[in-house]
Amino acid sequence: MLEAILTTSFQSLGCLSQTLGYVNTSRNLCKARSCQVQAVPKSSIILNACESGKFAEGKKVCGSAAPLVSQVSSVGVIGGVSVNATLKFLRKLVEFGSEDGGNPPPFVICSDPLLGRELLSYDRSYFVSSTSKAESLKLDSSSIVQNLINKRGFLEYSGARCIVMPCHVSHSWYEEVSKGCSVPFLHMSECVARKLKEAELKPLEAGNPLRIGVLASNATLAAGFYQEKLQNEGFEVVLPDRATMEHTVIPAIEALNRKDMEGACNLLRIALQVLLVRAVNSVVLASDDMWDILPKDDPLLKKCIDPMDALAQSTIKWARSSGDSV
């Protein structure tokens, strides 16, 4: 049974062999393999869909009417562009959940490599052909949206009491994906805006509004959700101009893909400095790739906000308010 395959015991911040279930949606077959997973809390389940498409109902997949998780603090995680990015979020969830002697909440992960490839292709299409938001709207994203909706429904049926999407580009369709959701569905940019609001920052220039920079891929910037949520909280949003994107941001990512770390670091530092000289208090660095470029001790990172941190912290806050002792 799939429940027997998937259910196992983990130790917080541990590294041990874990059974990973694969759900083959076209043949309704289940396979299992052993793999190494770090920082996975107790009572957590990882589901990896081998093929895209609509998941079968829980009764048919698991052979039981019972949900996979039953705790009121259970979190459903929709994977994004890469498994590595999803695992980074989970490590943050464990780290923040373990603070002050607490425990991370139980979670279910739905990770689909095909969806990841579609998201990556969509994101990169902006680097190649998109010159404006109007043009970006012509790109067909219907299959991505339906895929995300299917996974959200699967996680709800699995017993998740809260849904999160630790993926920037997936939030381009947050409204469509979250519509009709029966449980709270956290929005990453709302978490960022709330975190900045709670920080009670002061403008760097007297008489001016608080300025927050946003640095991300063209696809994420074109979607506009970071700008919208930050402006709703009263921040003035500063974006890189087209020249900065074309001559520093995009080449930095290209250098990273070539494993030219020195070149990528230099270019990204220039892009950040361009925003900082415009009197921004902080820069929302909304790109997993960009966080991989600079050394962790780089002084510029102290001026940056990681949306994954904000999402993980908000998830822990929600879990602790749910009633479970996590």
**Closest alpha carbon to 93 in 158, 36, 44, 161:** 44
- CA 156-161-164 angle, 5° bins: 80
| Per-residue pLDDT in tens (0 to 9) along the chain, 326 residues | 222 223 222 333 233 223 233 333 323 323 333 333 334 444 455 544 444 444 444 334 444 457 788 889 999 999 999 889 999 999 999 999 998 888 899 999 998 999 999 999 888 887 543 344 434 445 678 999 999 999 999 999 999 999 999 999 999 999 999 999 999 999 999 999 999 999 888 887 777 889 999 999 999 999 999 999 999 999 999 999 989 999 999 999 999 999 999 999 999 999 999 999 998 999 999 999 999 999 999 999 999 999 999 999 999 999 999 866 55
Beta-bridge mates of residue 35: 18
Q: Which pTM does this prediction carry?
A: 0.81
Q: Are 41 and 12 in contact (CB under 8 A)?
A: yes
